[in-house]
Structure 1
Amino acid sequence: TDGFIPASNMKLLTTGAAVSVLGPDFVFRTEIAIDGRRVIIRGDGDPALADPEILRNTEPRMTVEDFLETLTGAIADKLPDGCSEIILDDRIFDREFVHPTWDRNDLNKWYAPEVAGLNFHGNLLAIFASPAPEGVGTPPRLTMQPRSAWIQIANRAKTVAKGSNTYWPSRKSDANSFTLFGNVRTTAPTPLNTPTHNNPLLFGQLLAERLMRRGIAVGNETRPRLKPPAAVRLADPDETLPEGELAAIITTPLQEVLNRCNTDSINLYAEALLKRIGHEVTREQGTWDNGASVLRMTLEERLGSNAAITTIIADGSGLSHSNIVTPLTLTGWVESFALDETLREPYLLSLA
């Protein structure tokens, strides 16, 4: 049978491999630890960390600001006299945030965020635009989530009296510097989401900013400024970091990730799962390559060598046009889970 580009059907393969390799009871675990006066944040590749959709469904309901304040409070309790630096340990995955075969035109779109070992807020900035009170022709009012003093949005959009909302963002590829273009007529009910850059570092910078707002120094800085906090960094490639004393743990059950991946078709979730199974089997940094190898190995185990040989795996979500899967493989794969007493329920439960 001929192979086809699977698009979002690729997620059926990725989620199946994830539940096979990680096991249905797997839980993502992000840790915030204190070592002396240092804060170490250890990522587990969890794509759901501060995902606004998941926060909205927690009890009690939370916003991203609530989430950040909760973590900031946990750190402040341990380090009331200030912290020397915040270290983001995202090394469970490599730092290839963007797949080389993704269409460059997709990279400003909400469905193609960067992928990291420490994800945050879906790796998106939510921009809320409303017509300016000053009237037609003037720049619209903008707010954003998460809020920050130093994330810049150059506002080239304008308020209009006729037509519809036609505004869109662009971002410099290697910075959190945005420009908004187009027309704003009405306040939209939902935000415009656009991908952010280097999300592990961004997460740490946002926490540092909120610590300073509480009067807690981070490095030599005591108040937020119009540039990112200086004493925040990624872990060096070969750096050995101590376990430290736990200040907070954030967990996400695999089932929640499978559901959001298959039911809502969120690409970040699929990519994080692919890299996470790569790490799980190799115990090295999760990459698109080793994740693809583990997926191919799982295909062979479940369906035989022909399915593995005829499938081309580029990414986990289907955003890449380089993936190739035959219809026979896809149907056989889903059927193999329907017949699997252990994995049937978690897998089929995640399907829309």
Structure 2
Amino acid sequence: MLLKRVNLIILISFLATVLPQTQPVFAENNLVQQLNQFLSEDPDLHGAIAGVSIRNATNGEVIYDHFGDVRLRPASNMKLLTAAAALSVLGEDYKFKTEVLIEGSVEKNILLGNLYLKGKGDPTLLKEDFDRMAAELKKLGIKKINGNLVGDDTWYDDIRYSLDLPWSDEQTYYGAQISALTASPTNDYDSGSVMIEVKPGNRQGDKAELTTTPITDFVKIINQTVTVAKDGKKKLTYEREHAKNTITITGTLPVTSKGQKEWIGVWEPTRYALALFKQSLKENGIELSGKIKKGTTPIDAKIVYTHSSIKLSELLVPFMKLSNNGHAETLVKEMGKVVTGEGSWEKGLEVMEAELAKFGINTETLVLRDGSGISHVNLVPATQLSQLLVAVQQQPWFPAFLHSLPVAGMSEKMVGGTLRSRMKTQNVKGKVFAKTGTISTVSTISGYVNTKSGQTLIFSIMLNNLMDEAKGKKIEDKLISIIASY
């Protein structure tokens, strides 16, 4: 009898140690079964390729893999790689600088020489920042410049577009030119672009009313719009002439419409920044007698004012939440400049690749052509993205990285970002922190999800060769909902 009791105690002890281990296995098998069934049966995936990698966030263990080693186009999931590398190389407290310098002497409120504006990559410069620069010159007693206003953008090379940027994206804000000296219209910091707001006229038949932010004559707008009846169509088209800053707006706008905002990339952002600075000088009562031109700052020029940008950790929010391509490409060039002394895509991507290897990424499986993911030549396996998301959790800057990711279903723009209108059901809203990605025929999403069981899982879902990217997003949302129920 005693022996039976001992055996019973041993059996109970054994089951107590085994059952907690077998329960997740059953759940894991169920997860695998659900994901396999969904991926094999969804008609919108027929003819497409789905790369999926799911890991345990605690130990990095692969829980699920579906073509996870296949190289696929990442779209803006490339920004996960760029952000991690930039945080590692530059640091979360890194700031961009812009310098105002003078050459020559100041006599009787007149600068006898040139005024220089030297850009060092800051994508956050607003019109109000140029106002501050002009105000500082005014404090020095300068009322006239007997010389030129020279923009120095030599911090980076003079290649303005990444290697594979489509021509059709040239006028868009997300395809704007990259320069070490540039400007943004708003604090979304879409550098190298101007925002145009179109509102209906007072009466039917009137042209629409147009305003630009910032207010500038750097762009010329040809208004071919018509205000139509309240039940008419709202259809506007914007076209910027190649190699010029002439923007033609055509179409119709109902008289009761709230209007529309559009961001257009400018041609030559260095001169755009200079035009805004010249405007600020005039508004501060400083006369410029010379010309606006590009050039290199002389060694003996004197710095009279230095503007610093927000910290990289703060810039990461509009960069990642709103998927800002310009920020990504600027960070690539900045990494190249800081590490190798050359602010180019070539050197920046070399630095980025070397840094990614430190996170356990097999860089031999990657094809990196830019920092934003706009290229259709970029190739990244889903398993490498999930590996990155595991590794960065150990970095001191991880809180800033995680904070920058869009949060599912949260309506505030700088919280929900590109996920603010997605995944609003109870099991996923506020529980998914992930970077989205979209280019033609491609939809991707990678990040972290807090599951029903209280675990955090890491996922990377890459859908390529889609007929409809919108349907791809619905597929992603369904897959994440299944993962969240784990």
| Structure label with greater radius of gyration | 2
- For structure 2, the residue ranges without an aligned partner over 5 or more in a row are 1-68, 105-110, 185-190, 407-486
Task: Indicate whether 1:163 and 2:232 are aligned.
Answer: yes
Task: Indicate whether 1:291 and 2:348 are aligned.
Answer: yes
- The aligned amino acid for 1:177 is T
The CA distance in 2 between the partners of 1:188 and 1:41, in whole Å, is 39
CA drift of 1:248 comes to: 4.2
Aligned with residue 5 of structure 1, among 70, 73, 82: 73
CA drift of 1:217 comes to: 1.9
The CA distance in 2 between the partners of 1:48 and 1:216, in whole Å, is 24
- The 3-state SS of whatever aligns with 2:151 is strand
The CA distance in 1 between the partners of 2:287 and 2:394, in whole Å, is 57
The CA distance in 2 between the partners of 1:104 and 1:246, in whole Å, is 40
Kept in 1, the 8 Å contact 2:195–2:261? The answer is yes
Task: Indicate whether 1:180 and 2:235 are aligned.
Answer: no
CA drift of 1:196 comes to: 1.0
Q: Which has the higher contact order (CA 8 A, sep 6+)?
A: 1
CA drift of 1:72 comes to: 2.4
Q: For residues 183-220 of structure 1, what are the alpha-carbon distances to aligned partners after superposition, in whole Å with 9 as ceiling and x for unaligned?
A: 12255466211111211211112221332344422124
- The aligned amino acid for 1:321 is H
The CA distance in 2 between the partners of 1:242 and 1:15, in whole Å, is 36
- The 3-state SS of whatever aligns with 1:191 is strand
- For structure 1, the residue ranges without an aligned partner over 5 or more in a row are 51-63, 221-230
Aligned residue pairs, count? 321
Which residue in 1 is equivalent to 2:273?
203
The CA distance in 1 between the partners of 2:358 and 2:302, in whole Å, is 40
- In structure 2, relative to structure 1, the CA distance for the partners of 1:68 and 1:343 (3 Å cut) is closer
Which residue in 2 is equivalent to 1:262?
320
Q: For residues 75-97 of structure 1, what are the alpha-carbon distances to aligned partners after superposition, in whole Å with 9 as ceiling and x for unaligned?
A: 33332233522121211111211
Kept in 2, the 8 Å contact 1:48–1:269? The answer is no
- The 3-state SS of whatever aligns with 1:249 is strand
- The aligned amino acid for 2:350 is S
- In structure 2, relative to structure 1, the CA distance for the partners of 1:283 and 1:123 (3 Å cut) is same
- The aligned amino acid for 1:332 is Q
Which residue in 2 is equivalent to 1:345?
399
Q: How does 1:42-53 map to 2 (within 5 A)?
A: 42-50=118-126
- The 3-state SS of whatever aligns with 2:293 is strand
The CA distance in 2 between the partners of 1:80 and 1:71, in whole Å, is 14
Higher strand share: 2
CA drift of 1:164 comes to: 3.9
Q: Please report the TM-score for the alignment, with normalisation by the length of structure 1.
A: 0.84
- In structure 2, relative to structure 1, the CA distance for the partners of 1:187 and 1:109 (3 Å cut) is farther
Which residue in 2 is equivalent to 1:335?
390
Which residue in 2 is equivalent to 1:59?
none
The CA distance in 2 between the partners of 1:247 and 1:298, in whole Å, is 34
Task: Indicate whether 1:80 and 2:80 are aligned.
Answer: no
Kept in 1, the 8 Å contact 2:198–2:259? The answer is no
Kept in 2, the 8 Å contact 1:32–1:246? The answer is yes
Which residue in 2 is equivalent to 1:57?
none
CA drift of 1:250 comes to: 3.0
Which residue in 1 is equivalent to 2:289?
219
CA drift of 1:148 comes to: 2.2
- The aligned amino acid for 1:169 is Y
- The aligned amino acid for 1:245 is I
Which residue in 2 is equivalent to 1:321?
376
- In structure 2, relative to structure 1, the CA distance for the partners of 1:175 and 1:111 (3 Å cut) is same
Aligned with residue 130 of structure 1, among 199, 202, 208: 199
Aligned with residue 336 of structure 2, among 278, 282, 285: 278
Sequence identity percentage? 26
- In structure 2, relative to structure 1, the CA distance for the partners of 1:179 and 1:324 (3 Å cut) is same
CA drift of 1:71 comes to: 2.7
Kept in 2, the 8 Å contact 1:43–1:118? The answer is yes
- The 3-state SS of whatever aligns with 2:197 is strand
- In structure 2, relative to structure 1, the CA distance for the partners of 1:337 and 1:210 (3 Å cut) is same
Which residue in 1 is equivalent to 2:83?
15
- The 3-state SS of whatever aligns with 2:375 is coil
The CA distance in 1 between the partners of 2:125 and 2:131, in whole Å, is 14
- The aligned amino acid for 1:139 is K
- In structure 2, relative to structure 1, the CA distance for the partners of 1:329 and 1:195 (3 Å cut) is same
- The aligned amino acid for 1:232 is I
The CA distance in 2 between the partners of 1:120 and 1:204, in whole Å, is 9
Kept in 2, the 8 Å contact 1:7–1:317? The answer is yes
Q: Please report the TM-score for the alignment, with normalisation by the length of structure 2.
A: 0.62
Which residue in 1 is equivalent to 2:30?
none
Which residue in 2 is equivalent to 1:31?
99
Which residue in 2 is equivalent to 1:53?
none
- The 3-state SS of whatever aligns with 1:331 is helix
- In structure 2, relative to structure 1, the CA distance for the partners of 1:151 and 1:263 (3 Å cut) is closer
Which residue in 2 is equivalent to 1:71?
133
CA drift of 1:120 comes to: 0.5
- In structure 2, relative to structure 1, the CA distance for the partners of 1:24 and 1:209 (3 Å cut) is closer
Kept in 2, the 8 Å contact 1:35–1:245? The answer is no
- In structure 2, relative to structure 1, the CA distance for the partners of 1:248 and 1:74 (3 Å cut) is farther
Kept in 1, the 8 Å contact 2:201–2:207? The answer is yes
- The aligned amino acid for 1:76 is K
